[in-house]
Chain A
């Protein structure tokens, strides 16, 4: 039997029409997320078996209302459709449309159809037809559109086989026709000359190239120069675009008049009633803050058990490997570098997954759009958009996916400000640092006999994170001179019950992105740290001998000698030298060189702080077997004052430092990718660094 080459299929459609649902139905668990070359938007692909000897590779493109893009997400669709020479250029396009708003969905369809690529129209949500009083004459519609039309319900799994069949057949057909001949209705001469520039491209392709200034590789330099001449008269091009839009809608109206009927009286007005509550001027905000509280509460409540479990498993693993392997550099690397490194990533999965679970449910139900509507005016005062709320909430799990979530914001300045302030929100990597410092310096008392003082401090740090994000957004708004036309339009989708399949897939996908994105960096840093702590310049090797010589006559036990050696070794290692070097700079904040080591190591990822201190104090401790890291830190004495090292002033100063400083290599890398320059991540690093230094200095003075 001959196996055919897989058919490449792209799913295109308005947002919320069920592209992802259809994609999930077609591909199941075969999907993976990659990147479009050169751009930062994720590309979701999966395979689908059409028949015994034929498969299809399905790509889920970002949702868009038109081929003409207004955001980063949307520009992907245009680029994928213009690059006819690209190896991923689709053989077949499936336009997914929502039956309830067929008119607007057909607008995008009409544009795609004009590119003359084999195309199928899948009209989704057919399960809603009865309830909404909709009837559709599929036969006539097929004829009018000169396209295969399938009625489907991605949610109820209806019509999916028909889509597969049509894909298999459609790829064989090569002749397609444009739906709207834009030329003669607008300006016959102009478009005739335009078409003459390149015979290998359709008129609509050429028109898109000049209006969107997007020239694919298939265009020669010579042709490009000619094409650019057509864009000289900007206002004329704009007028033609407007005319084109109106003309398309006219044609669609004609077609729908003959094929589509909707009984408006049948549409039950659930939307109106729910909107009244969710966008109410008091209840709207009350509900929103209630939802936020619920989310944060659940993140804490539900994640402690799995996190403790993961922690214990990695500790067991380390112990197991220590027992199994012969001692040596390799064993140390695995037990002190790699295993804690991986553990440091895995431990965050529960919190991140729970947060994304909530975000996915809120988006699926349509509630998130109401939050955007409710918050837009408030956020605009701080130079952001209602759409900035989603990244700011996601930032409490991890700034990396949060920065990626800003792509839907169309105004560049609003998007940039959101990206710049998102790292202030209290991400889950700060939690272990906060947890250990709070339990060290804040007394375990109850406020008013009920609230735990420690819990209250943690809450304050959360609020502080949001507050500083808002304040700095406001300053950036006033200071930044960035040219940008902010254009805001948000669709308010219908309320829907979330589909479990979609939610689960979404959570898996985003969690995976975190694990492999941030994970690589955290793991690499852990290994580098391990190396820096276990190696040093020339004198490092002779430390052991020196220590033994010095204390020859004192009667210390063998283990005490070992500890003294380990402690001196750390001091003489590369990282010890670095800690000593920055000691003068951090002394005003109340820190010593050991905390300096922790600061340096958490420069790459904050959560490393706890692990580093554990390493430092485990080699220094007097009573290793019984005490935990916390007890060892508590026992640490500041030799200059004779007091505890981690007193209230130092603890508070450190908390503030970790709240403000940009200590996350992963975020810096993603900001670089999303803003396409090093300028903004560097500004973040320096700005947040200065703020952290000054604020912790002041905090230290206040509390000492």
Chain B
């Protein structure tokens, strides 16, 4: 299963429709929506948090959160 946490640096995926219920409202509101491209930009030195670009927003999210958001690799 592919999630944001399984992306490698520089890789792009598309957030899958089934993730809608697990994405917290706050992340949705910041543009992290199903059907949208997400790119992993950087990984913090201790492998956590992850620095992503989604829908034009540059965000740092924790790995446990990222591991719940399923994606389709493009």
Contact = CB atoms under 8 A, between A and B. Distances in A.
Interface of A: 65-66, 68, 70, 100-101, 103-104, 107, 238-239, 241-242, 245-246, 249, 271-272, 275-276, 279-281, 284-285, 369, 372-374, 376-378, 386, 487-494
Given A249-B31, A376-B60, A490-B59, A68 B51 contact: no
Given A101-B56, A488-B65, A492-B58, A284 B45 contact: yes
Q: Which 6 A-B pairs have the closest CB atoms?
A: A281-B45, A377-B46, A66-B29, A492-B58, A490-B60, A245-B28
Contact of A386 (B24, B28, B31, B49): B49
Contact of B51 (A107, A241, A373, A378): A373
Contacts of B65: 487-489
Contacts of B51: 275, 279, 373, 492
Interface string B53-66: 00111111110010
Given A104-B55, A378-B46, A490-B60, A65 B29 contact: yes
B60 A492 contact: yes
19 contacts: A66-B30, A68-B26, A68-B29, A103-B31, A103-B55, A104-B30, A104-B31, A242-B20, A242-B28, A245-B28, A271-B58, A369-B60, A373-B51, A376-B48, A378-B46, A487-B26, A489-B27, A492-B58, A492-B59
B16 to A, nearest CB: 14
Interface of B: 20-21, 23-31, 33-34, 41-42, 44-49, 51, 55-62, 65
Nearest to A375: B44
A265 to B, nearest CB: 15
B26 A491 contact: no
B30 A489 contact: yes
Contacts of A284: 45
B59 A103 contact: no
Given A377-B44, A386-B49, A492-B51, A487 B24 contact: yes
Given A104-B55, A249-B33, A373-B51, A488 B28 contact: no
Given A275-B42, A488-B65, A245 B33 contact: yes
Contacts of B29: 65-66, 68, 107, 245
Contacts, number: 108
Given A68-B29, A490-B49, 10 more contacts: A68-B25, A101-B56, A101-B57, A242-B20, A372-B60, A373-B51, A374-B44, A376-B49, A377-B46, A488-B49
A285 B45 contact: yes
Nearest to A238: B25
A373 B20 contact: no
Given A249-B33, A279-B51, A488-B49, A104 B25 contact: no
B49 A373 contact: yes
B38 to A, nearest CB: 13
A490 B26 CA distance: 11
B37 to A, nearest CB: 12
Nearest to B29: A66
Contacts of A487: 24, 26, 65
A488 B61 contact: yes
A231 B59 CA distance: 31
A241 B42 CA distance: 30
B55 A241 contact: no
B26 A489 contact: yes
Contacts of B47: 377
Contact of B30 (A65, A238, A271): A65
B30 A70 contact: no
Contacts of B48: 376-377
Which among A245, A372, A386 has the greatest number of chain B C-beta atoms within 10 A? A245
